[in-house]
Amino acid sequence: MENTVNKRIINLINKEVVPAMGCTEPVAVALCVAKAVELLGDKPDDIQLRLSGNIIKNAMGVGIPGTGMIGLPIAVALGAVCGKSEYQLEVLRDVNEKAIEEGKKMISEGRIKILHHKTPPCNLHIEVDVKKGNNSATAVISGMHTNFVRLERNGVKMSADSGGQYDEANDGEDIRLNEKMVYNFAMTVPFEDIRFILEAGWMNRDAARLALKEDYGHGLGKVIKNQGLKFFGDTPIRHILSMTSAACDARMGGAQVSIMSNSGSGNQGITATLPVVCYAEDINATDEQLARALALSSLTSIYIKQNLGRLSALCGCVVASTGASAGLVHLMGGGYDEVCSAIKNMVANLTGMICDGAKPACAMKITSGVSTALMSALLAMNGKCVSSQEGIVSDDVDETIFNLASIGREAMTETDHLVLDIMVNKG
């Protein structure tokens, strides 16, 4: 039975921790466009999209890899010009100058129309219709960034990845986690079975190192690395903040570099891995210690997202930095009780941080999250935990996580609508 559970959890990690190039919302749109164009069999004359509000919100202000441009139009155009659906969330990795020029021409000719789908079946929903002469094709992604639920050519339905609308709450293939299950797996699974997760840390570390050499986004990682010595010293907190924000600088700034995502989000992947990797390097942890900490961090983040949903008004750094805090506790020598305390401390602090779209400024939110992760871990290691008499924290760690998810999934719905309204109506 234990082996079966372990295999299902490993399958879940492999499903949720995957490479992605660029912000996953415009990339998912580009993926859907690429698939529709492949079905059409030719470069389209016209492309029409209907997108859920959360997709629009997360694609408006973010850099598109290798282009020096931001926003949905160029992502759509490049999906049509050079996108390959077989690349999944790295669909735009073949972007080059010729493709960019062709994409710009497509935009200038008014061949792309983007509409807001105001009543989508879920927060992550993308519909693409393409036409060439008398031929047409349709592709629809829903529920997950790579989940095609409908494919058509000239009105004839084609096979899709799933038979209908994806429902996260009732996915029969995914094992439903709890924090004790997460912890027991991370601590007891044979090291060789999770050695692969080290690659997530190394890939995201490489992205951070690139950003520290170049200029991306607001350059927060470089600022902390170069000027933070005065304020933080040569300490773990400086290393963590610099590397984590640098990777976000690169990704949000449009660097043509892949990172390892978590639960459909690159920034969550960065946040769940790099604080753990940096601290492990500072204490000379073994590969096994690091792998177990990364498994604990990544799975805690996945667990929270199972309850929260793919996209919401709650910033993803809250989710992933909570996972990172659990991973840091393990590296500090703590056990399950300390992990639970760290999670509760995180929920008491960061709940309510809004997501106002993917953008270069996400690096600042990530630094807020990971600095809190270290503080929460330190409190936990000193026997300090926010009590159930304080705010939304409960005695039970799983109930605490449910409370966090409920606020992000339900109570902040109107916040989500207002944020999008503000973003699209700014002068």
Q: For position 331, what pLDDT does the model report?
A: 98
CA distances from 323 to 282, 299, 302, 385 (A): 19, 7, 9, 16
How many CB atoms neighbour CB 231 within 10 A? 9
**Quick one: which of 261, 244, 226 has its CA closest to 146?**
261
- β-partners of residue 150 are 140
Q: For position 170, what pLDDT does the model report?
A: 38
pLDDT tens per residue across span 190-227 = 999 999 999 999 999 999 999 999 999 999 999 999 99
- How far apart CA 166 and CA 173 sit, in angstroms, is 12
Between helix 72-81 and helix 97-108 the angle, nearest 10°, is 120
Question: 256 is written with which tokens?
Answer: 């043509």
Q: For position 368, what pLDDT does the model report?
A: 95
Q: Which pairs with CB-CB distance under 8 Å and at least 24 residues apart come from 406-415? A: 407/314, 407/351, 407/352, 408/308, 408/309, 408/312, 408/313, 408/314, 408/318, 408/351, 409/307, 409/308, 409/309, 409/312, 409/314, 412/312, 412/313, 412/314, 412/352, 412/354, 413/313, 415/313, 415/354
- How far apart CA 360 and CA 369 sit, in angstroms, is 16
DSSP one-letter string for 74-110: HHHHHHHHT--GGGGGGTTTT--HHHHHHHHHHHHTT
How many CB atoms neighbour CB 41 within 10 A? 10
- How far apart CA 145 and CA 270 sit, in angstroms, is 17
Residues of the chain whose pLDDT is less than 50? 162-172
Q: Are 53 and 218 in contact (CB under 8 A)?
A: no
- How far apart CA 114 and CA 60 sit, in angstroms, is 12
Question: 291 is written with which tokens?
Answer: 């792998």
- How far apart CA 355 and CA 55 sit, in angstroms, is 12
pTM metric for this prediction: 0.92
Q: For position 240, what pLDDT does the model report?
A: 97
| Phi, psi (degrees; rounded to nearest 5) at 138 | -135, 140
Q: For position 173, what pLDDT does the model report?
A: 55
Q: For position 427, what pLDDT does the model report?
A: 60
Q: For position 39, what pLDDT does the model report?
A: 96
Q: For position 405, what pLDDT does the model report?
A: 93
Place of tokens 């050079």: 82
Q: For position 162, what pLDDT does the model report?
A: 41
